[in-house]
Amino acid sequence: MTPVYLDHNATTPMRPEAVAAMVEASRVVGNASSTHGFGRAMRGRVDRARERVAELVGAKPGDVVFTAGGTEANNAVLRGAGRARVVVSAIEHDSARLAVEAREEIPVAADGRVDLASLDRMLSASDVPAIVSVMLANNETGVMQPVAEAARLARRAGALVHCDAVQAAGKTAIDVAALDVDFLTLSAHKLGGPQGVGAIVVRGISGFDPLTRGGGQERGRRAGTENVAGIAAFGAAIGALADDVDATARMSRLRDRLEAALRAVYPAVVVHGASAPRLANTSCVSMPGVAARTQSMALDLAGFAVGAGSACSSGKVSPSHVLAAMGVDADDAASAIRVSVGWTTTDVEIDRFVAAWREVFARLSPAARLAAAA
Ligand code: PLP
């Protein structure tokens, strides 16, 4: 049987429109910095994509700086914004959380949402100029974060605000003005574009010290010849998203069906962050007594790809700093997998996955044996 891919938060298949744009731009020659016709045609592709990225988040095209992905964007902002204090939520993706060594972490509540009272206290405890970084939606649990509220507190304390919107983009509407952030991070491959392309949306007069120098590209904010094929594909993916108007509703229905079916198998199943507003596509679910690695291997053998642990990073299965920050007990955290549906997911795939989960649960979980004996 065809394997089923349910790890769309790690990366999602490219939209055909994005593949076509990538191939089209790869077939022609030209450096976007050259002033001749070949160069100007390449520049045109970059500019069109820039407009689409800006539109996606309600920004101006001039605010968009293309990067080689979300990791670079987070690093560029948090290391380059010139603020001595870097205050990040405890559940940020490692590319934000570990961008600077001397970080301060904002705790989160048990439901997975950033604790605003703690942020307020942290900000008023020092006059050192800060940048605050709070993601729009968490990659492991899907829990949406109170970014606009965090920004309000940050502004009052004179801090800059950064938001990693990598997982939220394409799954929920984003308006940088309503969020009132100075910097926003995007990544193409989470929304149907290619891997290795991303963007920083820089609002107003905010600036950052570039990570790369030695070229005037991106108005001096990111030196290096642009990845035109990737950038064009990023823009095309956003266009395809805009045309697929019911994608979020579809994902939401599939995710809810999946969780209801798992509850029917095991009523006490724990879905992390389920009491908070979440992305439409993400489910972080524990199978009692079965290590995430064991589950993901068993499911992989059966033909299902899911995320295990902090699976966003290089296939490693390590305890999740996100679940730890939420105060999830070590056993529950160790048995959590992430199931994330995407624009290609179907009802049949969900049914097949639930059957496989039921089989692994019955075979490996002590909770299934207890339930059977009761
Ligand atoms: N931020 C979040 C929330 C992510 O989930 C990821 C995914 O890996 C990244 C940043 C990194 O983005 P990229 O893979 O484009 O470097």
324-341: average pLDDT: 96
Q: Which of 190, 231, 313, 314 for a ligand 1 pocket mutation test, highest count of atoms within 8 Å of Cβ?
A: 190
Per-residue buried b or exposed e for 124-146, using 16+ beta carbons within 10 Å of the residue's own CB: eeeeeebbbbbbbbbbbbbbbbb
Taking the centre of ligand 1 as the mean of its atom positions, its distance from the CA of residue 214, in whole angstroms, is: 26
Q: pLDDT grade, residue 369 (50/70/90)?
A: confident
Q: How far is the CA of 87 from the centre of ligand 1 (A)?
A: 19
Query: E-assigned strands of 159-281?
Result: 160-164, 183-187, 198-202, 270-271
Average pLDDT over residues 207-222: 92
Q: Is pLDDT at 318 greater than 80 in this prediction?
A: no
Percentage of residues of the chain with pLDDT beyond 90 = 93
Cβ neighbour number for residue 94 with a 10 Å cutoff: 13
Question: Rounded distance, CA 121 to CA 287, Å?
Answer: 37
The predicted model gives 166-192 an average pLDDT of 98
Question: What was the pLDDT predicted at 370?
Answer: 81
Residue to mutate (ligand 1; options 7, 94, 95, 167; most atoms within 8 A of CB): 95
How many angstroms separate the alpha carbon of residue 80 from the centre of ligand 1? 18
What was the pLDDT predicted at 309? 63
Confidence of residue 311 (pLDDT cuts 50, 70, 90): very low
Distance of CA 114 from the midpoint of ligand 1 (Å): 19
What is the Å distance from ligand 1's center to 70 Cα? Answer: 5
d(CA 352, ligand 1 centre) in Å: 28
Assess contact for 313 and 10: CB atoms under 8 A: no
Which protein residue has the closest C-alpha to ligand 1 atom 7? 312
- Is any ligand 1 atom within 6 A of the Cβ of residue 139? yes
Tokens standing for residue 154: 């940050």
135 lines ligand 1 (CB under 6 A): yes
Q: What is the pLDDT of residue 111?
A: 98
Residue 77 has pLDDT above 60, yes or no: yes
Q: Which of 139, 183, 322 to mutate to test the pocket of ligand 1 (most atoms within 8 A of CB)?
A: 139
What letter does residue 247 receive in the DSSP assignment? H
Instruction: Please say if the pLDDT value at position 313 is more than 50.
Output: no
Indicate whether 128 pLDDT > 90. yes
Tell me the C-alpha to C-alpha distance, in Å, between residue 13 and each of 44, 66, 342.
26, 21, 8
The Cα–Cα gap between 189 and 195 comes to 5
On whether the CB atoms of residues 326 and 272 are closer than 8 A, the answer is yes
The per-residue pLDDT for 319 is: 79
Q: Is the CB of 95 under 6 A from ligand 1?
A: yes
**Whether the CB of 68 sits within 6 Å of ligand 1:** no
pLDDT at 316: 54
Tokens of 227: 């990845």
The finding on whether 230 has its CB within 6 A of some atom of ligand 1 is no
Q: Whose CA is nearest to atom 10 of ligand 1?
A: 70
Query: Which is it for strands 282-286 and 103-106: parallel, antiparallel or unpaired?
Result: unpaired
Beta partners for residue 103, in sequence order: 86
Unique residue bearing structure tokens 């048990």: 110
Local confidence band at 293 (pLDDT 50, 70, 90 cut-offs): very high
- Decide whether any atom of ligand 1 lies within 6 Å of the 340 Cβ: no
pLDDT at 250 (0 to 100): 97
Asked if the model's pLDDT at residue 374 lies above 90, the reply is no
- Whether 131 has a pLDDT exceeding 70, the answer reads yes
pLDDT of residue 206: 73
Please compute the mean of the pLDDT values over residues 55-76 and round it to a whole number: 98
Reply yes or no on whether 163 is catalytic: no
Within 10 angstroms of residue 60's Cβ, the number of other Cβ atoms is 15
What confidence tier does 314 reach under pLDDT thresholds 50, 70, 90?
A: very low
> Does the beta carbon of 75 lie inside 6 Å of ligand 1?
no
Q: In this predicted model, what pLDDT tens digit does every residue of 223-260 receive, in sequence order?
A: 999 999 999 999 999 999 999 999 999 999 999 999 99
What are the contacts of 209-214 at 24+ separation with CB within 8 A?
209/79, 209/80, 209/81, 209/82, 210/76, 210/80, 211/72, 211/75, 211/76, 211/79, 211/80
Report pLDDT digits (tens) over 36-64. 999 999 999 999 999 999 999 999 999 99
Res. 317: pLDDT tops 70 = no
Q: What is the mean pLDDT of the chain?
A: 95
Separation of alpha carbons 228 and 30, rounded Å: 9
* Model confidence pLDDT, tens digit, residues 104-116: 999 999 999 999 9
Do 180 and 316 contact (CB within 8 A), yes or no? no
DSSP 137: B
